[in-house]
């Protein structure tokens, strides 16, 4: 399992052809695009079809594109790659991809070590006069990214030129030459090698679309059977409770008849109505807790009088509003002084 690529289970997109949508989860977007380039070149070497999925911009709208911030509708998602091909060829590609990504990353790390050795050498002193520790960390990070980009670009090339470094330029400007050096020192990267057992494991994961649909139907059937089992258990519990209640009523009735010296014509349980099991109660969704406004926010500092309407008084204290505001008859309202 490689840390640079996530490989889901391939699915059958046509008869005899399978599709795998790869994801490159590294945090750096530029590094993920370089891994995308490596996977693209390797798919071309294995004779597979590849395409980059389209990603829709969630912030896009006609207004934002024409009169707003110029947001685009979408772009190619370089963190994903769709690869199509026969089952065996696709499985061999997926096995080789994990190894190739690990080896390319190892070559980039070796190039960074070459950069560190050059930085500590006498030849680097003229170029480090105006550099400090922070700028050199940035130089090393950018140098590793440039080397990884050069390795990804030349991965599918048949013949690679020999890297030649120049002593008149700093090493961070010669990432391509160092990439060729570490490639030649390691003997290159084999793009075709793949473990047969791992290939067979990937082939077994590739199931036809009929099997996927059958698995979905099996999950639905299991859910239906479970629901029927729970309903049967619920009905059985109701019947047990009803039988226990009838049995207790019969025992109490028998004791009463024995005490009174009488004999019951029929047990009480026979006169009970038939059991009707109510339907299951729906689960009521829980409401979000009400956000209480603090008193300091409702009554800011300096407020001495608060006007309360009659409706609010009637809502919180029913009946008090009538005592506070008694009804005035029509005759008294006629002779009331004007406000």
Residue 58: C-alpha distances to residues 32, 64, 133, 201, 257 (Å): 21, 11, 40, 38, 80
pLDDT value for 312: 74
| H helical segments located in 120-208 | 133-153, 175-186, 196-205
The residue whose two tokens read 């685009």 is: 72
105, two tokens: 């990353």
Look at residue 295 and tell me if it is in a domain: no
195 and 217 inside one domain: no
Which residues make beta-bridge pairs with 56? 74
d(CA 110, CA 117): 11
Residue 125: C-alpha distances to residues 122, 163, 284 (Å): 6, 22, 74
Using CB atoms within 10 Å of the CB of residue 103, give its burial: 0 to 12 exposed, 13 to 18 middle, 19+ buried: middle
34 and 172 inside one domain: yes
Torsion of CA 130, 136, 140, 143, to 10 degrees: -20
d(CA 32, CA 280): 52
237, two tokens: 């519990």
200 and 214 inside one domain: no
163 and 264 inside one domain: no
Q: Cα angle vertex 97, ends 95, 103, to 5°? A: 115
d(CA 190, CA 107): 13
Domain boundary (207, 224, 250) is at: 207
165 and 131 inside one domain: yes
Look at residue 6 and tell me if it is in a domain: no
1, two tokens: 């399992």
Look at residue 100 and tell me if it is in a domain: yes
How is 1-27 classified by DSSP, letter by letter? --SS-B----EEEETTEEEEEEE---S
35 and 164 inside one domain: yes
148 and 251 inside one domain: no
255 and 110 inside one domain: no
Domain boundary (271, 286, 305) is at: 271
Look at residue 183 and tell me if it is in a domain: yes
253, two tokens: 């009735």
251, two tokens: 């025992």
d(CA 111, CA 124): 16
Give the range of the structural domain holding residue 32, as residue numbers without chain letter: 11-207
249 and 151 inside one domain: no
Look at residue 301 and tell me if it is in a domain: no
Look at residue 306 and tell me if it is in a domain: no
The residue whose two tokens read 């590294």 is: 26
Contact 242, 268 (CB under 8 A): no
Return the DSSP state at 54. Answer: E
Contact 163, 120 (CB under 8 A): no
Torsion of CA 53, 54, 59, 65, to 10 degrees: 160
192 and 109 inside one domain: yes
271, two tokens: 């006169």
Which residues make beta-bridge pairs with 12? 18
Element containing residue 332 per DSSP (H, E): helix 330-334
Between strands 74-76 and 54-56, the pairing is antiparallel
Look at residue 164 and tell me if it is in a domain: yes
Tally the domains of the chain.
2
Look at residue 319 and tell me if it is in a domain: no
**pLDDT block averages, 10 residues each, the chain of length 339:** 82 84 89 90 89 87 81 87 90 90 91 90 86 89 90 71 76 88 85 85 76 81 91 88 82 75 61 73 72 68 68 72 64 53
d(CA 338, CA 51): 85
pLDDT value for 339: 44
Domain boundary (157, 190, 207) is at: 207
125 and 203 inside one domain: yes
81 and 134 inside one domain: yes
């Amino acid at each position: 399992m490689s840390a640079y690529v996530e490989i889901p289970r391939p699915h059958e997109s046509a008869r005899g052809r399978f599709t795998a949508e790869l994801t490159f989860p590294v945090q750096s977007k530029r590094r993920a695009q370089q891994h995308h380039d490596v996977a693209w070149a390797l798919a071309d070497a294995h004779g597979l079809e590849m395409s980059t999925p389209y990603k829709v911009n969630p912030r896009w709208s006609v207004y934002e594109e024409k009169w707003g911030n110029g947001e685009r509708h979408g772009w190619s998602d370089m963190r994903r790659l769709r690869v199509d091909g026969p089952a065996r060829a696709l499985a061999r590609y997926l096995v080789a991809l994990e190894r190739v990504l690990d080896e390319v990353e190892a070559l980039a790390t070796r190039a960074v070590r070459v950069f560190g050795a050059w930085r500590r050498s006498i030849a680097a002193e003229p170029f480090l006069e105006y550099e400090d520790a922070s700028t050199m960390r940035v130089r090393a990070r950018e140098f590793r990214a440039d080397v990884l980009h050069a390795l990804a670009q030349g991965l599918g090339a048949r013949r690679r030129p020999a890297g030649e470094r120049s002593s008149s330029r700093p090493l961070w400007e010669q990432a391509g030459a160092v990439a060729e050096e570490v490639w030649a020192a390691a003997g290159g990267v084999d793009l075709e090698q793949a473990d047969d057992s791992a290939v067979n494991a990937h082939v077994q994961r590739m199931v036809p679309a009929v099997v996927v649909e059958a698995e979905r139907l099996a999950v639905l059937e299991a859910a239906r059977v479970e629901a029927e089992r729970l309903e049967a258990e619920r009905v059985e519990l109701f019947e047990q409770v009803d039988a226990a209640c009838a049995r207790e009523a019969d025992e109490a009735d028998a004791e009463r008849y024995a005490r009174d010296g009488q004999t019951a014509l029929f047990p009480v349980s026979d006169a009970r109505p038939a059991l009707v099991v109510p339907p299951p109660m729906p689960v009521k969704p829980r409401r979000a807790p009400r956000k209480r406004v603090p008193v300091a926010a409702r009554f800011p500092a300096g407020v001495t009088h608060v006007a309360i309407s009659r409706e609010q008084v009637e809502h919180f204290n029913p009946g008090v509003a009538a005592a506070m505001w008694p009804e005035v008859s029509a005759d008294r309202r006629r002779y009331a002084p004007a406000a």
